[in-house]
């Protein structure tokens, strides 16, 4: 079974530039999550999708962050404009629905450095 795929693995940009991250979840997983992990901290949930609908985006800084999952499969997370404090690893995870196992399957992450 293929795991969660993310790209790019690394990205370096200057502040005020924009960046986009892509995620392909495990086939058949209806729930998709984006987490932000700042160095030395645990992952923080940014947004959760159920199929192509947003379930929770309460911690997403909507003035600069946006995410979409148009066809209920792949997802993109965009930051525009980036700030220094956005430097972090952006993790995508997916899980199947209807099973309260709570197991999330994570991608390898996209490491963003904002200079």
Minimum CB distance to other proteins, residue 3 (Å):
7
Contacting residues toward other proteins, per CB under 8 A: 3, 31, 33, 35, 40-45, 48, 50, 55-56, 91, 93, 95, 100-109
Of 76 and 96, which has the nearer Cβ to other proteins? 96
Closest CA to 83 of 31, 29, 19: 19
Q: What 3-state class would DSSP assign to 86?
A: helix
Of 17 and 37, which has the nearer Cβ to other proteins? 37
Q: Are 67 and 7 in contact (CB under 8 A)?
A: no
In the chain, what's the furthest Cα-to-Cα distance?
42
Pairing of strands 110-114, 88-95: antiparallel
Minimum CB distance to other proteins, residue 93 (Å):
8
Minimum CB distance to other proteins, residue 4 (Å):
8
Of 45 and 73, which has the nearer Cβ to other proteins? 45
For 37, other C-beta atoms within 10 Å of its C-beta total 15
Of 11 and 48, which has the nearer Cβ to other proteins? 48
């Amino acid at each position: 079974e293929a795991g969660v795929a993310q790209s790019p693995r690394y990205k370096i940009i200057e502040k005020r530039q924009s960046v986009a991250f892509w995620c392909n979840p495990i086939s058949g997983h209806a729930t998709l999550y984006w987490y932000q992990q700042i160095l030395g901290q645990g992952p923080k949930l940014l947004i959760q999708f159920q199929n192509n609908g947003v379930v929770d985006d309460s911690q997403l800084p909507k003035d600069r962050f946006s995410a979409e999952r148009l066809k209920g499969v792949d997802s993109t997370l965009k930051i525009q404009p980036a700030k220094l404090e956005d430097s972090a690893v952006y993790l995508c995870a997916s899980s199947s629905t209807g099973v309260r196992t709570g197991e999330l399957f994570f991608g390898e992450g996209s490491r963003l450095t904002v200079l």
